[in-house]
Amino acid sequence: MATQTSPPSIDPVPSIARLAATKVGTALDPGSASCVGVLVDGDDGPVIGLDLDRERLVAAGFDGAMGTALVVPSGADPTLVAVGVGPAAEVDAAAVRTAAAAFARAASGHAELAIGLGGVPGLAAAVGAQAAVEGALLARYAYDPLRSTTSRTALTGLTIVSDDEGAAAGAERGRALATATALARDLANTPHSHMTASILGDVAVAVGAERGLDVEVFDEAALVEMGCGGLLGVNRGSTEPPRMIKLTYRPEGEPTGHLAFVGKGIMYDSGGLALKPGDEVHAQMKNDMSGAAAILAAMAELADVGCPSQVTGFLMCTDNMPSGTALALGDVITMRGGTTVEVTNTDAEGRLVMADALVLATEDRVDAIVDIATLTGACMRALGTQVAGVIGNDQGLVDQVRRAAEAVDEPVWQLPLEPRYRRELDSSVADLRNLGGANAGALTAGLFLAEFVGDTPWAHVDIAGTAQSEGEAGWQTAGCTGFGARLLVALAEGFAP
């Protein structure tokens, strides 16, 4: 009989609760903030908001370069921090987000912060306020639920100092997007011992009840009845039961479109019988459910940003373990819809679980499908750890993904859906094999997924490289990054069928 890990004694929706407790707003002055960030460009003009001229700042080692920070010595309260945003002509939302993150770290001992936007007069107040809130909140993120004690100072208040009415809406939107990323980080950072497929199902139910999502959790018996051979096959080696979690967001009024998200939710990836090496990368494989985490977190914020489209999310959740019942190399499984797949590598399991969901999404007759997954090391080798890959069968949809990625500073690079590599997926005993040749692994993975979407517009986002950060960089913190959550919010909000 399958066993289940007992739910952890931590808040199942910690990020929502934590960021909701952070007072975010706008005002004409910093109020009770004990530390104020002053944005300073890297040009030679006057400095707004500080009683120091440019020459004295430069003498102190501060030149206004993007992401630099200087605590200004003073005996008065509040403490002032000069924060660089780079050349004035190049200041955009990404620069403000990075600057706000640098300020929040420089003020890590302060619980209440304020940021003045007077140093970026060329940027719309709503855009600047949103970026500043995202940068500050995400830079101060820490995964603490399993620590017995912590010495860090929690951020309890953030004020955007602005006299523009648009700043308030921008600040609230920034909070919503930061909450999405923080929740995705929490879910992916939680160890497998505390976040199994069934526990994630419980978390989804709790999030759905709080955020207005319809949630259906399908257990093993239901998956057998539905013929989801990919998810069931990968789960064969595990003592933990699989779950498919279906989330539905419906806007007020008539939807302008219907978008489906499909997420890889491998709660822990040992590689199955194709066992991974016992190194640090193996220990990080709790993050192999980052795609599913990004979808759950993004959909929790769709109502707050007023998304006009209906969105359905499919989270395909199981771990991938070796055992006497695990998939063997050479086994053939039957996917939802009847396609047979020869499993030539059990460590290419993500595409197997997602294939079932791609078929289910097409059966829902959605207008488009976007899947997101920590899918291939090949994509990470090609694009590194700062840029995700995107591939698809519809250029219009891929372009929508690219625009959303640019808007939230979660960059993607388009890879080709090259049909000349399709023959590498041919099998001598089944319709397909789950792995191509030694080269172009990100492309053959995309071609495999494309087999299950038919004519439905589809795009695939590979976040294998971007899901994990070795250290602090801009608004990113060390550990699981939550990459993709804000991208999906922006995509859904602006989706055009």
Whole-number pLDDT of residue 6: 47
Domain region containing 24: 14-181
| DSSP SS3 for 320 | strand
Question: Same domain for 38 and 55?
Answer: yes
List the CATH number of the domain containing 55: 3.40.220.10
Cα separations in angstroms, 387 against 148, 355, 415: 35, 24, 12
- Active-site residue, selected from the candidate residues 185, 243, 351, 486: 351
Are both 320 and 449 inside the same structural domain?
yes
Parallel/antiparallel/unpaired status of strands 243-249 and 214-218: antiparallel
Say which DSSP state 153 is in. P
| 246 assigned to active site | no
Under-50 pLDDT residues of the chain: 1-9, 12
| Residue 298 in tokens | 């993004």
The reply to whether 141 falls in a domain is: yes
Asked whether residue 488 is domain-assigned, the answer is yes
Q: Which tokens in the block code for residue 425?
A: 């997926």
Q: Assess if residue 9 is contained within a domain.
A: no
How far is Cα 280 from Cα 299, in angstroms, rounded to an integer?
Answer: 31
| Domain C-terminal end among 155, 181, 207 | 181
Quick check: is 128 in a domain?
yes
**Within this chain, do residues 134 and 203 fall inside the same structural domain, yes or no?**
no
Q: Pinpoint the alpha helices (H) of 275-428.
A: 280-283, 290-299, 350-363, 377-383, 395-408
Max CA distance (Å), the chain: 78
* Closest alpha carbon to 183 in 109, 293, 281, 299: 293
Closest CA to 37 of 19, 52, 49: 49
Query: What is the reported pLDDT for 415?
Result: 98
How much is the pLDDT for 15?
54
Buried b (16+ CB within 10 A) or exposed e, 213-250: bebebbebeebeebebbbbbbbbbbbebbbbbbbbebb
Residue 32 is encoded by which pair of tokens? 């009770």
In angstroms, the Cα distances linking 199 to 104, 195, 246, 270, 496 are: 33, 6, 15, 19, 34
Q: Rounded to a whole number, what is the distance in angstroms from the first to the last CA of the chain?
A: 45
Q: Are residues 253 and 163 in the same domain?
A: no
User: Residue 222: what are its φ and ψ, rounded to 5°?
Assistant: -65, -40
Task: Give the separation between CA 182 and CA 18, rounded to whole angstroms.
Answer: 9
Asked if residue 3 belongs to a domain, the reply is no
What's the pLDDT score for residue 147? Answer: 82
| Pair (28, 127) in one structural domain | yes
The total of other beta-carbon atoms located within 10 Å of residue 156's CB is 12
Q: Would you say 355 and 449 are in contact if contact means Cβ atoms under 8 Å apart?
A: yes
Place of tokens 């860090």: 152
What CATH code is carried by the domain that includes residue 263? 3.40.630.10
> What does the pLDDT read at residue 4?
45
Both 346 and 450 in a single domain? yes
Residue 251 and residue 345 share a domain: yes
**280-300 per-position pLDDT tens digit:** 776 689 999 999 999 999 999
- Measured CA distances, 8 to 193, 267, 359, 480 (Å): 9, 15, 33, 19
pLDDT at 158: 96
Residue 132 and residue 48 share a domain: yes
The reply to whether 147 and 257 lie within a common domain is no
Instruction: Quote the pLDDT of residue 20.
Output: 60
Structural domain includes residue 2: no
Q: Domain check: are 110 and 251 in the same one?
A: no
| 4: in domain | no
Is there a catalytic annotation at residue 23?
Answer: no
User: According to the model, what pLDDT value does residue 2 have?
Assistant: 42
Contact call for residues 298 and 311 (beta carbons, < 8 A): no
Kindly state whether residues 279 and 213 are assigned to the same domain: yes
Same domain? 402 vs 318: yes
Q: Which of 181, 211, 231 is the last residue of a domain?
A: 181
Closest CA to 66 of 46, 90, 95: 95
CA dihedral 130, 13, 302, 479 (to 10 degrees): 60
Domain count, the chain: 2
Dihedral over alpha carbons 179, 185, 188, 192 (to 10 degrees): -100
CA–CA separation, 466 vs 181, rounded Å? 13
Looking at 134, 157, 181, the residue that finishes a domain is: 181
Which residues lie closer than 8 Å to 52 by C-beta, 6 or more apart? 72, 82
Cβ-based neighbour number of residue 6 at 10 Å: 9
Task: Confirm if 42 and 86 have CB atoms less than 8 A apart.
Answer: yes
Q: What is the dihedral of CA 22, 28, 34, 35, to 10 degrees?
A: 90
Whether residue 6 is contained in a domain is answered as no
DSSP track, 241-272: PPEEEEEEE--SSS-S-EEEEEEEEEEEE--T
Structure-token pair, residue 137? 């909140």
